[in-house]
């Protein structure tokens, strides 16, 4: 599924922007698969910046990996890099809180 399709199908989405040659991106993808299993209230999608440079440009992605959290199709949280599953869990918790509160203000970490 593309980012646009995922955003249209789900209220809360995590987009992981990365590239095939980026080792931290691959580690992040594996962690996302574990933390957000099928049927999770938060959907996730991988965006390959080499295959979709216009999408990366539209969201001002300048480094990989970058996570962007969306609620109702709008970006509300961004985190650059992947250092630990604990950090990922913190990001996902923040996204779930924003989603459940209805807040739509952008936030960058």
Parallel, antiparallel, or unpaired for β 107-108 and 74-80?
parallel
How far apart are alpha carbons 65 and 18 in whole angstroms? 5
Nearest to 16 by CA among 8, 40, 105, 42: 42
Strands (E), 36-100: 43-48, 66-71, 74-80
Instruction: Tell me the CATH number of domain 3-102, given options 3.30.750.24, 3.30.1300.10, 3.30.559.10, 3.40.30.10.
Output: 3.40.30.10
Domain ranges of the chain: 3-102
Structure tokens at 90: 């913190």
Parallel, antiparallel, or unpaired for β 43-48 and 12-18?
parallel
Q: What average pLDDT values come out for the chain (109 residues) when binned by 10 residues?
A: 96 97 96 93 96 96 97 97 96 95 55
Query: Which residues, in sequence order, are bridge partners of residue 78?
Result: 68, 108
Instruction: Give the pLDDT score at 51.
Output: 96
Contact 58/68 with Cβ under 8 angstroms? Answer: no
Contact 92/14 with Cβ under 8 angstroms? Answer: yes
Instruction: Give the pLDDT score at 103.
Output: 56
């Amino acid at each position: 599924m593309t980012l646009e399709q995922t955003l249209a199908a789900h209220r809360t989405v995590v987009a992981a922007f990365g590239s095939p040659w980026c080792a931290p991106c691959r580690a992040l993808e594996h962690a996302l698969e574990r933390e957000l299993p099928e049927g999770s209230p938060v959907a996730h999608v991988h965006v390959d910046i080499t295959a979709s440079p216009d999408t990366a440009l539209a969201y001002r992605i300048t480094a990989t990996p970058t996570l962007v959290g969306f609620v109702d199709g709008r970006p509300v949280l961004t985190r650059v890099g992947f250092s630990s599953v604990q950090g990922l869990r913190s990001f996902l918790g923040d996204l779930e809180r924003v989603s459940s509160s209805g807040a739509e203000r952008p936030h960058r970490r």
